[in-house]
């Protein structure tokens, strides 16, 4: 007899938050149920909870129960599909994707998935791969090969991304090209051999990290944009759910970057020393080169004019658009420099655990 599938979602409250997030991401579970030995539900940890904890600099060595939502939406058994969907849509201030079913003791006996009840999952129709850069920092490797076509583990980097997008259910992929763009077009053609529709937008002159968006045909709905030299295992569906949960005009994927100061840092007030900290580590969120953008803000990009993504984001913030940060806690690397290009080769040559950065 097959074991109930909710069992793989159960974790003990003493498991560290770091271990819980690794399990959540590596097994693509979507939700963890923090339970006592009798399977009584103490709290839940969702993908959104995990990412918000990273944004809040939560100490991931603390027990998972401290990370968990202690008041999740739950239900007793006996609901039909319509009742369950209504409960998931109205049982919280935002729609929930999972519904734990509890017996009279509060023990988990089932777990319902909204996407299954609706018989369809959230999906993205269109993605834009930004592949027009020169790759000067990787010269001479990029003398005759565009940077996105450099092979990582025997496969062009941009092909790895195209396959990820296809697996996520994206039907139309636009690729912006400039330097040696004909080699990208020759490799993918119309995309049929990769199970996707591929079209190209040619930058006659470099248009910056956002300008190529203006070359796209008028597309409806949310557009996923990703730099073609970025390799990541990010869950695009989770990113879209996060985007819609926060009613964002634009979601910017971010990555935590830590840097240790190699000296003792002296804190001064005027000429007085107030303290000294030996080799402290500072952490920042950096732009990860993955974005979700709605149709209206995309129209603000001038046609065929150089625009950097930094300037575009600043313009949206100034005009009071809703921008949110989505932390990537899965694998992520930008192959734009030799050291990271080498690290990407090493990653794809052996299985890695989730890197929390």
Give long-range contacts, CB 8 A cutoff, 24+ apart: 337-346: 337/137, 337/138, 338/137, 338/138, 341/138, 341/141, 341/150, 341/152, 344/152, 344/153, 344/157, 344/231, 345/152, 345/153
pTM: 0.71
- On whether both 298 and 156 belong to a single domain, the answer is yes
Residue 326 domain-assigned? yes
29-75 tens-digit pLDDT: 999 999 999 999 999 999 999 999 999 999 999 999 999 999 999 99
- On whether both 15 and 90 belong to a single domain, the answer is yes
Mean pLDDT for the stretch of residues 103-117: 91
161-179 tens-digit pLDDT: 999 999 888 989 999 999 8
Q: Encoding tokens for residue 97? A: 């994707």
Q: At which of 60, 86, 117 does a domain end?
A: 117
- On whether both 183 and 275 belong to a single domain, the answer is yes
Structural domains counted in the chain: 2
* Share of residues in the chain with pLDDT > 70 (%): 94
259-313 tens-digit pLDDT: 888 999 999 999 899 999 998 888 899 999 999 999 999 999 998 889 999 999 9
Residue 251 domain-assigned? yes
Question: Domain of 56: which CATH number?
Answer: 3.10.580.10
175-224 tens-digit pLDDT: 999 989 899 999 999 999 998 999 999 998 989 989 999 999 999 899 99
- On whether both 132 and 105 belong to a single domain, the answer is no
- On whether both 304 and 155 belong to a single domain, the answer is yes
Helix, strand or coil for residue 61?
Answer: coil
The domain in which residue 25 lies consists of 7-117
Q: At which of 64, 97, 117 does a domain end?
A: 117
Q: At which of 117, 140, 158 does a domain end?
A: 117
| Residue 355 pLDDT exceeds 70 | no
Residue 1 domain-assigned? no
């Amino acid at each position: 007899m097959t074991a109930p599938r909710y069992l793989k979602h159960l974790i003990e409250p003493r498991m560290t938050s770091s271990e819980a997030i690794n399990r959540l991401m590596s097994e693509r579970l979507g939700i963890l149920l923090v339970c006592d030995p009798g399977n009584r539900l103490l709290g839940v940890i969702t993908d959104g909870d995990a990412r918000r904890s990273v944004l809040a600099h939560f100490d991931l060595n603390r027990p998972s129960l401290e990370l968990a939502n202690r008041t999740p939406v739950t239900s007793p058994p006996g609901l039909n599909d319509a009742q369950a969907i209504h409960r998931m849509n109205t049982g919280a201030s935002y729609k929930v994707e999972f519904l734990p079913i509890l017996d009279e003791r509060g023990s988990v006996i089932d777990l319902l998935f909204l996407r299954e009840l609706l018989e369809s999952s959230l999906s993205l129709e269109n993605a834009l791969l930004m592949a027009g850069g020169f790759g000067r920092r990787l010269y001479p490797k990029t003398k005759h090969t565009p940077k996105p076509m450099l092979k990582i583990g025997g496969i062009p980097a941009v092909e790895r991304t195209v396959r990820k997008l296809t697996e996520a259910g994206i039907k139309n992929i636009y690729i912006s090209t400039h330097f040696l763009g004909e080699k990208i077009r020759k490799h993918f053609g119309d995309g049929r051999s990769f199970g996707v529709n591929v079209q190209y937008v040619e930058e006659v002159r470099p248009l910056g990290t956002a300008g190529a968006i203006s070359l796209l045909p008028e597309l409806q709905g949310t557009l996923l944009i990703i730099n073609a030299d970025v390799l990541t295992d990010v869950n695009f569906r989770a990113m879209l759910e996060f985007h819609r949960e926060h009613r964002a005009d634009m979601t910017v994927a971010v990555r935590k970057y830590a840097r240790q100061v190699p000296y003792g840092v002296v804190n001064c007030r005027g000429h007085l020393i107030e303290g000294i900290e030996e080799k402290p580590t500072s952490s920042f969120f950096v732009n990860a080169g993955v974005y979700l953008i709605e149709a209206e803000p995309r129209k603000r990009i001038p046609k065929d004019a150089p625009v950097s993504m930094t300037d575009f984001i600043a313009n949206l913030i100034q005009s009071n658009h809703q921008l949110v940060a989505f932390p990537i806690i899965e694998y992520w690397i930008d192959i734009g420099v030799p050291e990271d290009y080498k690290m990407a080769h090493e990653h794809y040559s052996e299985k890695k655990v989730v890197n929390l950065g």
